[in-house]
Amino acid sequence: MDTGTHIVMGVALGGLATLDPAVQSNPALFHAVLVGTVVGSHAPDFDTIFKLKNNATYIRQHRGASHSLPAILMWSLLVSGAIYLFVPEVSYLTLWLWTLLAVSIHVFVDLFNAYGTQAFRPFTKKWIAKGFINTFDPYIFFLNVAGIIAWALGANPGYTWVIIYTVIVLYYIKRYMDKREIVQKIKEYFPDTEVVATSPTLKQNYWRVAITTSDRYYVGSVENRHIEIVDEFYRVPLPDTDVIKAAKNDKNISSFLNFSPVYRWEINTDEDDVTEVRFIDLRYRSKGYYPFVAVVKLDKNLEVITSYTGWIFSEQKLQSKLIPSDSTP
């Protein structure tokens, strides 16, 4: 989920904590728990600091180790421990448990959008992306905001959030059912379908889909249960060539391949013997463009001239990112 949603969910957990008799009877503990749930609800996304280094590091790390099983325990201990330093008179166990719940819910809800997480590390590095809740879902966000407003106006926070989160759980079930119906319809249309990557949008009735069959990739949309295919690509395996090996050794390309499950690739060589290898994620097509890419340019000796990975919404902008500089490895 986005930062705003994680924060309002942290406030919601603080309200739910008032149902705990220990929290309800101790104002100091309540305030400590509220800070713990708000900070804990955002803590796994502190890995955005990697963006200061470069896109490759950010893409490889974001929602990776920071959202793993050991990290859930680490974040909860760090956040609750820091708070406890300022209020040592409160019950640390209660503070830690509510903070742990906040961190766990952050990682849990991130499983349901198209980006996903590596939540089951260290047992597996597989990306889990259920793809039926948008990264920013206005229904979830504004239900939480409504709960905060009701709380501020005097409503009982515990019961308010029980009602709101009952509605949100039902909403998750509905969205899961919507996705299941879409996948079933696609499999009826393409019997040899292997994988369907779904990306919900802000519109409830509009989804982006990337379909993998035995020999092709199909990119399209589903609107009001109507499937429209807009692009089709042959599923060509990566060749085992020196060019591809050199490309895969580049940090930007390796980060992209570590993250993207559905992509196509292109190789082009110009008159100066510069070879460009481009990887294009097929899940995020928007306005006729595929914005998530990885590109590397190699000289005739297969040394990296320049490379880039990230979100780019025009070819002109992409080429500006690929201008070699003294700082480019």
> Is pLDDT above 70 for 182?
yes
pLDDT tens-digit profile of 188-212?
999 999 999 999 999 999 999 999 9
> Is pLDDT above 50 for 97?
yes
| DSSP output for 233-263 | EE--PPP--HHHHHHHTSHHHHHHHHH-SSE
The domain segmentation of the chain, as residue ranges, is: 3-174, 191-234, 242-321
Over residues 281-285, the mean pLDDT reads 92
The pLDDT value recorded for residue 212 is: 96
Least confident interval from 50-59, 124-133, 150-159: 50-59
Instruction: Give the span between the Cα atoms of 178 and 7, in whole angstroms.
Output: 27
The pLDDT value recorded for residue 200 is: 93
Residues 286, 211, 126, 60: is their CA dihedral positive or negative?
negative
Tell me what percent of the residues of the chain surpass a pLDDT of 90. Answer: 76
Q: Hunting for tokens 């989920």 — which residue is that?
A: 1
The answer to whether 77 and 129 are in contact (CB under 8 A) is no
Confidence of residue 327 (pLDDT cuts 50, 70, 90): very low
pLDDT tens-digit profile of 216-269?
999 999 999 899 999 999 999 999 999 999 999 999 999 899 888 899 999 999
Cα angle 170, 46, 39; round to 5: 60
- Evaluate whether the domain defined by 242-321 bears CATH number 3.10.450: yes
